[in-house]
Amino acid sequence: MIYRLILSLRNARYKGGRHSVKAPVPTICVGNITVGGTGKTPHCEMILRLLLDSDRWGSRNIALLSRGYKRRSKGFQEVLYNGSAATFGDEPLQIKRKFPPVVAAVCKDRVAGCEALAKDGAELIVLDDAYQYRKLKADLNIVLTPYDRPVSEDSLLPFGRLRDLPKRLYDADIVIVSKCPYVLDPEDKVAMAHTLGFDSYDPDTCIATRPSPTRAGKKNGEVQSCMLLFTGISYDRPTPVFDQADSRYIYSHKIVLFSGIADDTPLRNHLSDSYKIVEHLHFPDHHAYTKSDLRALRRAMKRNPTAAFATTEKDAQRLRDLPQMPRDILERLFFFPIAVDFLSDGERELFTEKLITL
């Protein structure tokens, strides 16, 4: 109850854009209402890919700004391609390595971060996980909610995984239901829209509507609408974390899976189709691996001498920070690159049009 009250007071303070400022250049915010596990990073990557492929933004200066969760550095920092996850955070480092032309930066103060990037020539900024940073008013707000645990069926912390009020979903310009099965009928999408609290949803236009709260002096509330879209996850072929990896371990079709992310269920399901997962080790989200963890991996290696070690793309960034990785471990370390895409070409086209018109 206390947490709900604090959130209500905070949201009331910023209602209607009060006490918020806009960045000097257009901004796209990618966020969520839950604590991790919705796929913000791969969605940021998809957005960057669509922007870079467009005629309008492909030759212009695009930047990405993140808080850089659990980084050791302070203040505004531009992410270096050969930098470390400890310095910049695993997510912005992953994005920088996949999109070298994009200027990636980290800064806890998003307003100051946007001003610094704009001063350096950025013409558009993608904000990773800034939906709760109310001091900055983004030009386009995109909020993710997972298909298997929509915000309407969750609870506020500490009883659930919600870090914001569920009704904040309706303040977004675009709501994306992430981690969907790749085959969803229009009826399934309408059902999900109703589950999320929308009154109506048109699968052709992808517009969802919901009456806003009644305002004083008005008998009926105004109609709120947003774009409601659906995405799924895919994984690419196994990629060595280190150049010395030996692909023969992959051919054993035995996997020791380990990860330090909020939810590795999609990867686990993907691997189960082609590999036998002989062990599964789970570490906390954004976990910084230590020598003690290496000893745990070595024990797993001795129990499964022919198995490959599989992990996530984000974990790979942190593993590369470890000094003197033992050869018998690094030669069997692989990650599976992740990507997201819309369930239909129509959704992708509508979304792209929204992006490039900023």
Q: Is 216 helix (H, G, I), strand (E, B) or coil?
A: coil
| Phi and psi torsions of 233, nearest 5° | -105, 145
Q: How would residue 260 be classed by pLDDT, with cut points 50, 70 and 90?
A: very high
Q: What is the pLDDT of residue 70?
A: 87
pLDDT, residue 19, reads 79
Average pLDDT of the residues in 180-187: 95
| Res 214 pLDDT > 60 | no
- What's the mean pLDDT in 255-263? 95
The pLDDT value given to residue 16 = 67
What is the DSSP code (8-state) at residue 105? E
pLDDT digits (tens, 9 = 90+) for 272-294: 999 999 999 999 999 999 999 99
Half-sphere exposure of 344 (CA within 13 A, CB side): 15
pLDDT at 277: 98
Cβ distance 38 to 178 under 8 Å? yes
**Spatial CB neighbours of 337, under 8 Å, sequence gap ≥ 6:** 235, 236, 237, 239, 313
pLDDT at residue 308, rounded to an integer: 98
Where does residue 358 rank: exposed (0-12), middle (13-18), buried (19+ CB within 10 A)? middle
Beta strands in 81-162 (DSSP E): 103-106, 124-128, 140-146
Amino acid, res. 225: S
Whether residue 220 is predicted with pLDDT greater than 70 in this model: the reply is no
CA 165 to chain centre: 19
Q: Is the pLDDT of residue 247 over 60?
A: yes
Distances (CA, A) of 117 to 81, 110, 214: 17, 10, 40
Q: Is the confidence at residue 317, as pLDDT, over 90? A: yes
154 three-class SS: coil
Per CATH, the architecture of 23-233+341-356 is what? 3-Layer(aba) Sandwich (3.40)
Separation CA 345–CA 348 (nearest Å):
5
Given a cut of 50, whether residue 146 has pLDDT beyond it is yes
- Across 239-251, average pLDDT: 96
221 contacts: CB under 8 Å, gap ≥ 6: 211, 212, 213, 214, 215
Percent of the chain with pLDDT over 70: 96
Q: Assess whether pLDDT exceeds 80 at residue 23.
A: yes
Using alpha carbons, select from 40, 111, 98 the residue that is nearest to residue 69: 40
* For residues 173-196, average pLDDT: 97
What's the mean pLDDT in 54-64?
Answer: 97
pLDDT confidence of 15, banded at 50, 70, 90? Answer: confident
pTM for the full predicted model:
0.93
Residue range 337-355, pLDDT digits in tens: 999 999 999 999 999 999 9
Query: pLDDT, tens digit, for every residue of 71-124?
Result: 999 999 999 999 999 999 999 999 999 999 999 999 999 999 999 999 999 999
pLDDT at 266 > cutoff 90? yes
How distant, in Å, are the alpha carbons of 74, 80, 81, 233, 341 from that of 101?
A: 24, 11, 10, 25, 22
Q: Residue 218: its pLDDT value, please?
A: 42
CA dihedral sign of residues 98, 102, 105, 110: negative
Q: What pLDDT band is residue 217 in, cutting at 50, 70 and 90?
A: very low
Give the mean pLDDT of 23-41.
Answer: 95
